[in-house]
Amino acid sequence: MEITEVESFPIQIPLETPVSFSNRTLTYRDHAITYVRTDEGHEGVGYSLGYDGAGLIADAVNDLLEPLLVGEDPRDTERLWHEMYNGNVQIGRHGLFLRAISTVDIALWDVKAKAAGEPIHKLLGGHADAVPSYGSGGYYRDEKGHEGLRAEMRRYLDEGHDVVKMKVGRKSVQEEEARVAAVRDEIGDDVTLLLDGNGVYPTTTDAVRACRAFEPHDPYFIEEPVMIDRVDTMAEVNDALSYPVATGELEGTRHQFANLVDSGAATILQPDVTVCGGITEWLKIANYASAYDIPIAPHYNWNIHASLLGAIENGLWIEYFYRDMDVKVFDDVVEEPLAPDDDGMIPLPDQPGHGVPLDKDALEEYRL
């Protein structure tokens, strides 16, 4: 089998109303979409959230990665990953270029699983046929006060979730503590509450002060209390709190994740397969973490992360966003989006491949 074509392009899906987290306001979501096609008729697809850089990610695939891949066997995922990474190491160890590699690697594994006639969670290990999810939200909108926040969290419980997540950090410590208190009051004591700061706090002192204010409301973890590059600061916060730090959604390869663990900066890891280098690297991160009994709770992209979590022993939860919350909108271009059942469990797809076929008409509608 040979790769005959690699095609990548950006799409942009508008939000109905602006939405904010601690340090950014969004009006649309852009993604880079990558297809890998073969001489035997197999087609695989990969993707990554762009954060205004989807066009640059696609350019990196088309200009620098496709020439390395055409004529190669798509099943040689390990070799091709190293050729893409090592061949561009001077410019590609992190960030935008690693997202480009991620889109290609995901597409290669899609081809590989289709050629094998297996769903990817079975091909990779088959640990579970369904995985638990949490209702993720708690974003900021101008018209959304405590009552709106309560209603949102109540909806997640009504959908069957016993774990929910909310954003913190955009307002003062006192205001944020009141938001967290309102959510805890609404969901009761038996529901697991997760917090996400998106790296908002500038110092150890600021982060610890805020996170300790949330402690009476029994959060399970605080995600990214400080910027991810400040590993020593993250470690200081993790050490100072009675509940753990989770991080990794913007992190790169296994080497960066090993640094997070070795430094004590994270107790729960959140690798994103569309960011960290694709399925090939995501598995290395997850398996490294399993040696230390560190749970994996991947960031976003539930359609593909559900199958990956179902292939490993140390999976924790899948992050799920309801489309009508108008925060994550990628399901608009997915042919058969995955969704939780009445118990908050996501059944895994059983068709060959990674199980995330995209709607080509919708892609054309949103293509830039």
pLDDT of residue 22: 84
Neighbours of 97 (CB within 10 A): 21
Q: Which of 22, 319, 246 is nearest to 257 (CA)?
A: 246
172 and 320 co-located in one domain: yes
60 and 139 co-located in one domain: no
pLDDT of residue 27: 95
Q: What is the average per-residue pLDDT within 112-136?
A: 97
pLDDT of residue 252: 94
pLDDT of residue 182: 98
Q: What is the average per-residue pLDDT within 74-94?
A: 94
Q: Which residues contact 367 (CB under 8 A, 6 or more apart)?
A: 9, 10, 11
100 and 142 co-located in one domain: no
CA atoms within 13 A on the CB side of 327: 20
CATH number of the domain bearing residue 42: 3.30.390.10
The answer to whether residue 352 is domain-embedded is: no
pLDDT at 24 over 90: no
Neighbours of 368 (CB within 10 A): 11
Rounded to whole angstroms, how far apart are CA atoms 352 and 128? 16
The answer to whether residue 354 is domain-embedded is: no
Residue 13, strand partner residues: 29
Exposed e or buried b for every residue in 108-145, given b needs 16+ CB within 10 A? bbbbbbbbeebbbbbbbbeebeebbbbbbbbbbeeebe
Domain residues for the domain of 208 are 122-347
pLDDT of residue 229: 92
155-197 pLDDT, tens digit per residue, is 999 999 999 999 999 999 999 999 999 999 999 999 999 999 9
28-72 pLDDT, tens digit per residue, is 999 999 999 999 999 999 999 999 999 999 999 999 999 999 999
342 and 303 co-located in one domain: yes
CB 113 within 8 A of CB 119: yes
pLDDT at 109 over 90: yes
| Region of residue 61 (phi > 0: left; psi between -120 and 50: alpha; otherwise: beta) | alpha
The answer to whether residue 184 is domain-embedded is: yes
pLDDT at 23 over 90: no
pLDDT at 347 over 90: yes
CA dist list (Å): 113 to 122, 301, 306: 9, 19, 16
Rounded to whole angstroms, how far apart are CA atoms 340 and 347? 7
217-273 pLDDT, tens digit per residue, is 999 999 999 999 999 999 999 999 999 999 999 999 999 999 999 999 999 999 999
CATH number of the domain bearing residue 148: 3.20.20.120
Rounded to whole angstroms, how far apart are CA atoms 32 and 53? 8
CB 156 within 8 A of CB 343: no
Exposed e or buried b for every residue in 226-253, given b needs 16+ CB within 10 A? bbbebbebbbbbbeebebebbbbbbbbb
pLDDT of residue 68: 97
> What is the sign of the dihedral through the CA atoms of 308, 314, 317 and 319?
negative
98 and 152 co-located in one domain: no
Token output for 313: 């022993």
CA atoms within 13 A on the CB side of 153: 30
The answer to whether residue 226 is domain-embedded is: yes
* Helices within 53-172 (DSSP H only): 54-60, 66-69, 77-86, 89-92, 95-116, 120-124, 146-158
144 and 285 co-located in one domain: yes
The answer to whether residue 139 is domain-embedded is: yes
Token output for 192: 């697991």
136 and 230 co-located in one domain: yes
CA dist list (Å): 225 to 11, 43, 195, 248, 343: 30, 40, 9, 12, 30
131 and 149 co-located in one domain: yes
215 and 159 co-located in one domain: yes
38 and 109 co-located in one domain: yes
The answer to whether residue 216 is domain-embedded is: yes
312 and 166 co-located in one domain: yes
pLDDT of residue 266: 96
Number of folded domains in the chain? 2
Q: Which of 147, 77, 86, 159 is nearest to 112 (CA)?
A: 77
The answer to whether residue 355 is domain-embedded is: no
pLDDT at 94 over 90: no
pLDDT of residue 92: 86
84 and 227 co-located in one domain: no
pLDDT at 284 over 90: yes
Tokens 């022993």 -> residue: 313
CB 104 within 8 A of CB 69: yes
Token output for 282: 């995501």
- What percent of the chain has a predicted confidence (pLDDT) above 70? 100
The answer to whether residue 353 is domain-embedded is: no
199-228 pLDDT, tens digit per residue, is 999 999 999 999 999 999 999 999 999 999
290-335 pLDDT, tens digit per residue, is 999 999 999 999 999 999 999 999 999 999 999 999 999 999 999 9
